[in-house]
Amino acid sequence: MRGNTVNRKSMRTLAATAAGSALLFSLSACGAANESASADDSSESSLSGTLNGAGASSQQSAVNAWKQGFQTANADVTVNYDAIGSGGGREQFIAGGVSFAGSDAFLDDEEVAAAKDRCGSDVVTVPVYVSPVAVVYNLDGVDDLQLSPQTIGAIFAGDVTKWNDKAIAADNPDAELPDSTITPVHRGDASGTTENFTAYLDAASEGSWTHGEVEEWPVKGGEAAQQTSGVIQAVSGGQGTIGYADASQAGELSTVAVKVGEEFVAPTPEAAAKVLDAATQVEGRAATDLALEIDRKTEAAGVYPIVLVSYQIACQKYEDATEAELVKEWLTYVAGSEGQNASAEAAGSAPLSDDFAAKVKTAIDTIG
């Protein structure tokens, strides 16, 4: 249970500025009711205008690739995306400040109700970006660290504080572990990546993590950093540091192989994609709300269980028909094969399977 992720005061503040934000939004279309977003049809596109979104910083590399492809196919369209974090993106969407949000966590029940009020319709929530959340670290002389979920939970709870702790040594019998202090690095902003990471710890750590599934970091100590880039910078700039981030942005940092069953599995897109095979849709949601429950405790061979399933969130209905068309075409491109291949190449994400992509397209097609 995520708990109350909507700060009503902040929503009122955002709502007050929504009218100003709306001035940034301008759309016009020239009757292209079913225009394809394929790059091959760029000369025929009659879409034009500016589309504003905000949200998950984990999607940044993918969004940059999507923007390039979509804007190439639609030369008169500009897409802006403010990577302020999942929580901020959802708040801005609910307040009416942006046309769509990117989020590493689906809307909770209170947010769904608020979003329906904003939209005057159901909400379209579609997974568009699947990537492993890597446990990244910077420790001289240790390049192939292996950790069990119990040990990871204890490190981030602050109960394992030395790199040569017996729990770490048990997972790495051949490593030369230094007698130095561990510095955990966590997100300092409301983060869907944090929610996905703590959901894994809550489910799989067998009690070493007792702080639940949360979007805002609950443990005192360690080092806080803003957004994904801040975590990567903090881990890279320290020694004996360990953090968590979208694997596509790990860069030169080492990554932990996580124990799953009797093996240790590295954070690859292929290993992460296997988690979706066992995912189920959250009960009680509209047909257009494809929020997923992930099996974080899987012991299936070759599966990497710390997975970020990131969503884009939009209204099913917009008052402005041209805004609806532009949102619909954007999401169609993002979730389609061209968009998914672009994000896989740029960000190392796992493309949606054909069957799942068809479900996503069905939800997007209802936007009007």
Residues 182-197: tens digit of each pLDDT: 999 999 998 989 999 9
Q: Of 61, 70, 54, 45, whose CA–CA distance to 18 is shortest?
A: 54
Banded pLDDT at 42 (limits 50, 70, 90) = very low
Return the pLDDT at 166: 98
Residue located via tokens 């405790």:
297
Confidence of residue 205 (pLDDT cuts 50, 70, 90): very high
pLDDT band at residue 6 using 50, 70 and 90 as cut-offs: very low
Query: Which of 60-69, 201-210, 298-307 is the least confident region?
Result: 298-307
Q: The pTM is what?
A: 0.71
Predicted confidence band at 207 (pLDDT cuts at 50, 70, 90)? very high
- pLDDT of 331 over the 50 cut: yes
Residue whose pair of structure tokens reads 């996503």 in the numeric block: 360
Residue 274: per-residue pLDDT: 82
Mean pLDDT on 154-172: 98
Q: Is 98 helix (H, G, I), strand (E, B) or coil?
A: coil
Q: Once rounded to an integer, what is the mean pLDDT over residues 263-291?
A: 90
> So what's the pLDDT on residue 315?
98
CA-closest candidate to residue 56, choices 24, 88, 79: 88
Residues 6+ apart with CB under 8 A from 234: 185, 223, 225, 241, 243
Confidence at residue 124, expressed as pLDDT on a 0 to 100 scale: 98
Q: Is the pLDDT of residue 228 over 70?
A: yes
Could you tell me the pLDDT band of residue 107, with boundaries at 50, 70 and 90? very high
The C-alpha atoms of residue 228 and residue 247 are separated, in whole angstroms, by: 10
pLDDT at 40 over 50: no
- Three-state SS at 213: coil
CB burial of 159-189 (b: ≥16 within 10 Å; e: otherwise) equals ebeebebebbeebbeebebeeeebbbbbbbb
| Euclidean distance between CA atoms 126 and 110, whole angstroms | 18
User: pLDDT band at 29, cuts 50/70/90?
Assistant: very low
pLDDT of residue 248: 85
pLDDT of 5 > 90? The answer is no
How large is the average pLDDT for residues 281-303?
92
pLDDT, residue 195, reads 92
What is the mean pLDDT of the segment spanning 29-44? 42
- The whole-number pLDDT of residue 348 equals 87
Reduced to 3 states, what is the DSSP secondary structure of residue 104? Answer: coil
Distance CA 138, CA 269 (A): 22
| pLDDT value of position 275 | 80
Q: How far apart are CA 223 and CA 235, in angstroms?
A: 9
Q: How far apart are CA 342 and CA 335, in angstroms?
A: 10
Residues in the chain, overall count: 368
